[in-house]
Amino acid sequence: MFNLIEIKNIKELDEAIALSETHVVVIDCYTSWCGPCKILTPKLDKLQLKYDKSNSKVQIYKLNLEENEDIKKWADDNKVESVPTIFIFKKDTKVTVVEGANIDKIEKEINEKLNTNK
């Protein structure tokens, strides 16, 4: 059982990004055929559990880029060129993009955003 929330459509994506007004929102863009994406998912799940236990305002979402045309267009508009690509939002703004399955870099970026007012 994973603690990550799967985004199924563009409305859910918009709602997730809106949550960044009060939380650090992480969106993991992936595809079903991506090997590094499959390796990253349980690591992100453990990270979400860690933030949940510490009552940190972080929510990590999974976004399957093959889900529907609206999501594909969003990915194209945001220049997703490889998977996994991780977007970090804060205050309704995309503040960081991490390409690849580097969990240490992802966690570092999340922690930096948690500790800043911007």
Q: How far apart are the first and last CA of the chain?
A: 33
Q: Is 1 a residue whose pLDDT tops 50? A: no
Q: What is the CATH number of the domain that holds 73?
A: 3.40.30.10
Determine the pLDDT at residue 118: 54
| Residue 34 known to be catalytic | yes
Q: Which domain holds residue 50?
A: 5-114
| Residue 29 known to be catalytic | no
Decide which of 92 and 79 is more confident. Answer: 79
Taking 3-state DSSP, the helix, strand and coil percentages for the chain, each rounded to the nearest 5, stand at 45, 25, 30
Q: Tell if the pTM clears 0.85, that is, is over it.
A: yes
Count of structural domains, the chain: 1
Catalytic residue among 10, 34, 49, 97: 34
Determine the pLDDT at residue 30: 97
